[in-house]
Amino acid sequence: MKTVVITGSTRGIGRGLAENFLARGCQVVVNGRSQGAVDAVLGELNAGDKAAGFACDIADAAQLQGLWDAAQQRFSRVDVWINNAGISAPRKNLADTDIADIENVVRVNLCGMLLANRVVLRGMRAQGGGQIWNMEGFGSGGQTQPGMAVYGSTKRAINYLTRALQKELGDSGVQVCTLSPGIVVTDLLVGDYDTSSPEWQKSKKIFNILGDTVETVTPFLVDGILKTNKSGAKVAWLTGGKAFGRFMTAGFKKRDLFADVEGA
């Protein structure tokens, strides 16, 4: 029975991952910024002693260490740690982006990722092994788009970090891997758009072709993680072949993934 820690798992992809790991018999540690949100999700999951939850700011090294220590104390060891937590900035050109928004995104998405990997690497080496999964996002593969310079830059760094760690770790028994969910309908995706704007209407067309829901994507990701036993592995939902197929059939398969969002 594996123990899995998922940062940023009180909603969206993280929550979906937690639910699917539990469904497959794993022990899960839920994490979010507030203990109230964590406790609410634990109540919804209703997994008894197979689930625990602890709040922390993932950009704070001491709090991250506290999360690791609490998870290890609760379940004896941590087999899988998923660095899922992240934030976005309002979709603006860099010159128009508030300094505070730039600093917050870099603090959470990049500094938080570096600090989390450091804490978990040290913990997993001490326990004799384990698996870290770093979550990709827009920009990880070199994609560029107006208004995404800040977020995309932090996500582009994830691939470098993961490759660098694989070389540093060698045969230590700690595996570092990549998780790529593709375009998933979450608050993070929609939150920075004005859904009445022409920009949203244009983006929505692409999202409806390439996007999917949390309920569709997360079971696939969890199954891929549980089958993996190799450092450097990548579990990706939206592959190039799948994207090509979606575009080829877009004229025949009409999808509206955002009806609930726009109707809210």
Q: Which residues are catalytic?
A: 151
> Any idea which residue has 């575009």 for tokens?
247
180 strand-pairing partners? 236
Maximum Cα–Cα distance across the chain: 54
- Letter string b/e over residues 32-50, b meaning 16 or more CB atoms within 10 A of that residue's CB: bbeeebbeebbeebebeee
Spatial distance between the Cα atoms of 116 and 201, rounded to a whole number of angstroms: 37
For 144, 179, 254, the CA distances from 228, given in Å and listed in that order, are 30, 11, 34
Q: Tokens representing 106? A: 């870099």
Residue 8 and residue 31 in contact, taking contact as beta carbons nearer than 8 Å: yes
Spatial distance between the Cα atoms of 112 and 86, rounded to a whole number of angstroms: 9
Q: Tokens representing 78? A: 């941590």
